[in-house]
Each structure stands twice: as structure tokens, then as C-alpha cells.
Structure 1
């Protein structure tokens, strides 16, 4: 399974970067509380810490987006980028499972278990095999 779709690795990175930038990275960075409300989070009156954490998370997502775009366009650090994506997806599955088991997140976050599991599977399927790139 690893690298089954290697020849499309660059396209996968560019498509994934576009979608995740528009749906997650920019909204979380620019409008963290609005994004949180849209995702079903109930917010308390004091939100400065939530805004801070939202912007920090958004900034890190934008770094991953930049890695994907660079690797997708140039091939530079493509294997490292796939390693980062696999680690992000695997850890996000664990984070969301924890929240679901503890019942401390809205349904939209629990559904992300499937999204990140799918992203992990796709990342493995598109894994760049040097001989096929």
C-alpha cells in the first residue's frame, strides 16, 4: 500500500494544501472563535486564551500547508513533507479519539476521526517512492 499512487504525490499535496488551507488554516488563524462556533463549540465569556491558541494552531497549520505546496510544486523535501503529514494525521486521530471518549468535543470534532484516518490512508497511498517520482 505504501506509495501505491506515488506518481500522483505532487498533485495530492497541492490538492490537500488547498483544501486544508481554506477550511482549517486560514479560518483558525484569522477567525478562531467564529470557526469554533461554526464547528459546534460553545464558548465562554472570556475568550482571549481561545483566540491565542487558535491563532497559534492556525500558524502551525500554515507551516504544514507551505511544506505541502513547496513539495508539491518543486519536489523539494517531499519525503519529509509526507512524514510530517503522516505524523499530523496519526496524532490528530488520537487527539480526536480522546475527545470523543471523554465526550468533551462537539460532533464535528468526533467526525474528524474519519477525516484524519482517511488523510493518513491517502498519505500512505500517495507516499513518494523515489524510483517512481
Structure 2
């Protein structure tokens, strides 16, 4: 299973980078509270900490996006980028399962378990050999 679609490893990264940059990274980095509202989160009265953490998370997502874009366009650090991507997917699955079990997140976040599980599966299928 691992690497079954290796020929598409760079194409997958390019499309994933474009999609996740537009849907996650830029909105979380630029307008974290608007993104949170759209995802169904209740916004606290005091928002400075939420904005700070949102921008920090967005910054780290942008780093992963840059890794994916570089590997997609040049092939440089392709295996490393896939290792990072698999780690991100696995940890995000765990984070979202925890939130779902504790019932401390909106439905949209629980549904992301499926997104990250699918991302992990396609990451493994496209793994560069």
C-alpha cells in the first residue's frame, strides 16, 4: 500500500498545498476569529489570546505549506516533507478525536477526523519510494 501512487507524489503535494493554504492556513493566520466563527466555535469576550494562538497556528501551517510547495515544484526534500505531512495528519487525528470524545469542539472539528484520516491515507499511498 505504501507508495502505491508514488508517481503522483509531487502532484498530490501541490494540490494539497493549494487547498489547505486557502481553506486553513491563510484564514487562520489572517482572520483567526472569523475562521473560528465559520467553523462553529463560540468566541470568548476576551479575544487577544485566541487571536494570538490562531496566528501562531496559522504560521506553523504556512511553514508546512511552504515545505509541500517546495517539494511539489522541485522534488527537493520530498521524503522529509512526506514524513512531516504524515506526522501532522496523525497528530491532528489524535487532537480531533480527543476533542470529540470530550465534546469540547464543534461538529466541524469532529468531521475533520475524516479529512485528516483521508489525508494520511493518500499521503501513504503517494509516499515517495
TM-score normalised by structure 1 residue count: 0.97
Structure 1, gaps ≥5 residues long: none
User: What's 1:25 paired with?
Assistant: 25
Alpha-carbon distance between aligned partners in 2 of 1:76 and 1:90, rounded to the nearest angstrom: 23
TM-score normalised by structure 2 residue count: 1.00
Q: How does 1:1-133 map to 2 (within 5 A)?
A: 1-129=1-129
Structure 2, gaps ≥5 residues long: none
CA RMSD, aligned part only?
A: 0.3
Q: How many residues align?
A: 129
Q: Deviations over 1:16-47 (max 9, x none)?
A: 00000000000000000000000000011100
Alpha-carbon distance between aligned partners in 2 of 1:4 and 1:46, rounded to the nearest angstrom: 49
Runs of 4+ in 1 over 6 A off after TM superposition: none
